[in-house]
Amino acid sequence: MASGDQSKKRKQHYRPQNRPVKKKGSYPLKPGVQGFFISCDGGREYQASQEAINVIDSFFEELIQGTDSKVNPGLFDNPINKKVTFSYSEDEDDEEDESNYGEEEENKGDGDKAVVSEGGNDQVNEKEIASEGSCEVKKLAENETEKEEEDKGNQKNGGDEPPRKKTCTEEANPLAKVNENAEKSIDKLIEAELKELGDKSKRRFMKLDPGCNGLVFIQMKRRDGDPSPKDIAQHAMTSAAATKKHMSRFILRLLPIEVSCYPSEEEISRAIKPLVEQYFPIETENPRKFAVLYGARANTGLDRMKIINTIAKSIPAPHKVDLSNPEMSIVVEVVKTVCLIGVVEKYKELAKYNLRQLTSTN
């Protein structure tokens, strides 16, 4: 008995802080989520999930920009290409050269007399400087006034040291401050974006583990004003069919899921009510033809026809069942103990929402 107690104590002692080890990886699929049900090549679930997030996010951004972007169409009709003239342009230099040439001729006529200022040889004749440009005259005049003020200050102070001049760093201090503030603001924006990406609660699209090989589920945390998974999937399929552009390597079929619940008749009839009110209203002038598509993975305990009849009975009277040419298709996918329900349009015309088949050229 003593040896048994000692072995138990040793096992408890070597546990990491007496806590169970957390399972690493994505969260499991549970009822109450919406997103995209994706089938992929077996063994390539991780690569397919990364591709799916990128593809879905790109089409989501296209929908947002197409609906919310308000660009003035006449903004680029008349581009602003104004001719900019500087104070040191060639035209002004030519005018100054002509005026200086006339002044030189007048000076020659006066007997080549040079006018020298009272300051001595250190100072420069202003008329000669004018031939080199008005800007240089201003600069030299400012330098002369600064020298005169420094000489007067030295004479008053009795030959003390001249006042200290401002360094280049001090003069450029306001610009440096502006640049530092801009860099800080950019760094803060980058840090905030990285925090949002790192925080799983703020991600719009996130991978969930359905627990079956060849299947991926991408959860969409929908916010106010965001398009529905149906709109994103339909936009992706129509653009893929139109452009034939190869978008992914491992994704096969991409279906939108708007409702998820436990696979029982009562739960399904209760969960499908908002979809019926949205896509199959009672008071309508254009009744729609629909079909129910059923699929089950890792679940053999359900009766297929009972689930189909439960969904068909929940659709009101003006709408009819048409299995050959349906306008709307209600997709029902059962994965283990979760029932996923979504609504798609043009299911057969868009190759049953098979992305690889739509983009293949054969």
- Measure CA 196 to chain center: 12
205-209 and 35-40 beta bridge pairing: unpaired
User: In whole angstroms, how far apart are CA 348 and each of 35, 40, 323, 326, 333?
Assistant: 21, 19, 11, 9, 17
Of 344, 326, 317, the closest CA to residue 290 belongs to 326
One-letter identity of residue 352: K
pTM listed for this prediction: 0.59
**pLDDT of amino acid 120:** 44
**pLDDT of amino acid 189:** 79
Q: How far apart are CA 338 and CA 296, in angstroms?
A: 10
Burial class (CB in 10 A: 0-12, 13-18, 19+), 142: exposed
Question: DSSP strand E in the chain: where?
Answer: 27-28, 35-40, 205-209, 215-220, 251-257, 259-261, 289-297, 320-321, 328-335, 338-345
Q: How far apart are CA 99 and CA 103, in angstroms?
A: 6
Q: How far apart are CA 42 and CA 16, in angstroms?
A: 35
Written as tens digits, the pLDDT of the chain (362 aa) is 455 555 544 554 444 555 554 556 678 899 999 999 999 998 999 999 999 999 999 999 999 887 433 433 333 333 333 344 445 444 444 555 555 545 554 444 444 443 334 444 444 444 444 444 455 545 555 666 666 666 555 554 544 455 555 555 445 555 566 666 666 688 777 777 766 655 556 678 999 999 999 999 999 998 888 899 999 999 999 999 999 998 889 999 999 999 999 999 999 999 999 999 999 999 888 999 999 999 999 998 899 999 999 999 999 988 999 999 999 999 999 999 999 999 999 999 999 999 999 998 76
Domain assignments of the chain as residue spans, ordered by start:
34-64+201-359
- Is 34-64+201-359 a domain of CATH 3.30.2130.30? yes
**pLDDT of amino acid 12:** 47
